[in-house]
Amino acid sequence: MSFNERLAERFERVAKILELLGEDKFRVNAHARAARTVEAQPIDLSTIAGDRKALTAIDGIGPKIADKIAEYASSGRIAELAELEERVPPGLLRIMEIPGLGPKTVAMIWKQAKVETLDDLKRIIDDGTILTLPRMGEKSVEKIRKSMAFVAEGTRRLELGIAMPLAELIVAEALRWPGVERAAFAGSLRRGKETIGDIDILVATSDMAGASERFTKLPGVMQILSSGEGKSSVRMRASADLGRWAADAAGPTVQVDLRVIPLDRWGAAMMYFTGSKEHNIRLRERALKRGMTLTEWGLFPNDDDPTPPHKRGIRPIASKTEEEVFAALELAEVPPEIREDRGEIALAEAEFARDKERAIPRLIEVGDIKAELHAHTTASDGKLSIVQLAGEAKRRGFHTITVTDHSKSSAVAGGLSPERLVEHINAIHSARKDVKGIAILAGSEVDILADGSLDYEDELLAKLDVVVASPHASLSQDPDTATRRLVRAIEHPMVHILGHPTGRLLNRRPGLEPNMQTIFRAAREHNVALEINAHWLRLDLRDIHVRGAVEAGCLIAIDCDVHDPSDFDNLRYGVVTARRGWATPEVCVNAWDAPRLQGWLKGKR
């Protein structure tokens, strides 16, 4: 876990304890926002922890938070957190993770029933004591019991590549329901976050009750959490067999929320349920400064009546489309992936005002990608022959495919000995005669050894059109060692791409934690592209690292690391990660035309 992640975890813990104790909401929100801000930084904050001015220049970090960052960097602890932890039993924070148990309820059962652990909570449910507490009826308790069972089962955040196919299944099914005019997923899934806590589905229909009933009866529904015309929530089983309803009882579960809205409020609802909390706060503040109120039902004239305007029959100023609502706020439409309050609103304002022809960059799209530079064949651990791989890439509209089978140290993946690689290069050259209309390049995914040296001698590397240098072993190295290792590989004159730079696997292993600013500087200096490995278990570079790389002027490669034909379909996850990092077609080598790409590749030879 990186310094930023450890720090964010501690700020989040402070926020939860403050909330549990009923402390001032401003302090709760300040620490919760600090946690999100710290985790989203592309640079290691320990490197600037002693520079109070640099810390407070980051939006979301005030002087007090800056002092705590400096304190943690120097001592490894935050005194305020230690003091707060002495005031509450540690098991209460675990109880707060149970869906349906908010901080006020947890505080109540702690103080009135002496509940301090999950076992304590189970005990008062089993013996019926919980029914004597305020607002605890049989239905509420049954929901808590079922939620506890799922927590005990080990619920986790779903990877993007599991959550998105499930959401698409639900949307496709909803579009077949009678009366449904539109359906889409929103939330952090629409923003393309690498892992998803829950799934938000929006439906516009004339049959609100029917939509809710059909939703709760979808395949894979394990538990109905709530059911109503406007909103319903269920817990669903996600399938490891992507694109199919779950039948595996061992698969992960996820909460799915359905929101049913009128068609003429679609744009406002999509905005509200897509943007991050911080982004939405900025929009609401902007509306208020202009004498308006922004809700999920639309943008309305502001007045002093506390009753929501849509309940009073007030017609919105704008609500039908997202573009319409943004325009009414004097903003250009912001792409969903960057609605995170990281500078996008200022650019949207400038673009709307025509201060700049295009202030928000034109983010890369799947259609921009015309080359795959990291792919495996049956020569190592892939399932396609060279000809089959090239044919599939051509079918998908690519002008270039690079065959990059594993190097010798990846023995478990069928890594090629030097002698086999020479034969493989000849086979790749020969395949060019069999598949016309696409450039087939000879490459290798070369292991970066623990000391930063490469797995083949320079004489052999010189025979390759493309070298993707990747770390596969020794992924628990300390940050300084990992940084030196990767920089040494980047500095090698024949390396084109640094493949999946940290080697992480989502929800499985953290991978290396190098100083990314040092990696960015080296990559820019040596004209090496940093890869976004598009497989949904990797997404490495991660989004915040992409943003840092783009700001540092680095080149980006988006590769599918193809082993199977279906791996090409992972491209969208790599692209959405690039978009979250504000990457444009210009910085992505896979989006260049063939002459430009070939020129860059040959520049290393």
CATH 3.30.460.10 fits 158-261, yes or no: yes
Instruction: Tell me what pLDDT residue 419 has.
Output: 97
Q: Please give the Cα distance from 495 to 465 (Å, whole number).
A: 10
User: From CA 68, how far away is CA 35, in angstroms rounded?
Assistant: 12
Buried b or exposed e, range 310-345, using 16+ CB within 10 angstroms: beeebebbbbeebebbbebbebbbbbbbbbbbbebb
Cis upstream peptide for 18 (omega within 30°): no
**Residue 213, CB half-sphere, CA atoms under 13 Å: how many?**
6
Specify the CATH class of 366-602 in words.
alpha beta
Q: For position 154, what pLDDT does the model report?
A: 53
- The CATH fold assigned to 267-352 is Beta Polymerase; domain 3 (3.30.210)
Q: Is 338 helix (H, G, I), strand (E, B) or coil?
A: helix
Rounded alpha-carbon distances, angstroms, from residue 240 to 161, 251, 419, 487, 567:
10, 7, 39, 37, 15
Which amino acid appears at position 566 of this protein? S
Q: For the chain, give every residue range classified as CATH 1.10.150.20.
A: 94-153
Among 310, 301, 372, 362, smallest CA distance to 332 is for: 362
From residue 508, alpha-carbon distances to 159, 188, 210, 309, 537 in Å are: 11, 21, 40, 47, 9
Residue 251 and residue 238 in contact, taking contact as beta carbons nearer than 8 Å: yes
Q: Which amino acid is at 87?
A: R
| Partners of 484 in beta bridges | none
Residue 20 CA: distances (Å) to CA of 91, 109, 348? 12, 11, 38
Domain(s) labelled CATH 3.30.460.10 in the chain stretch across 158-261
Query: Which of 24, 26, 38 shows the shortest CA–CA distance to 78?
Result: 38
The whole-angstrom separation of Cα 398 and Cα 438 is 7
Residues 6+ apart with CB under 8 A from 69: 7, 38, 45, 49, 55, 61
Residue range(s) of every CATH 3.20.20.140 domain in the chain:
366-602
Distances (CA, A) of 487 to 271, 413, 439, 532: 42, 25, 30, 17
For 3-85, CATH gives 1.10.150.110
Mean pLDDT by 10 residues, the chain (605 residues): 87 90 88 88 88 90 93 92 90 80 86 89 89 85 77 73 95 96 98 96 93 93 87 87 70 90 96 96 96 95 81 89 97 97 94 83 97 97 96 97 96 94 97 96 98 97 98 94 98 98 91 95 98 97 96 98 96 98 98 98 89
User: What percent of the residues of the chain are helix, what percent strand, and what percent coil, each to the nearest 5?
Assistant: 45, 15, 40
DSSP string of 556-604, one letter each residue = EEEE--BSSGGGGGGHHHHHHHHHHTT--GGGBGGGS-HHHHHHHHHTT
- Structure token pair of residue 329: 């706020």
Cα three-residue angle 475-477-481, rounded to 5 degrees: 125
Name the phi and psi angles at 179, rounded to 5: 85, -10
Domain spanning 94-153: CATH 3.40.50.970: no
**Domain(s) of CATH 1.10.150.110: residues in the chain:** 3-85
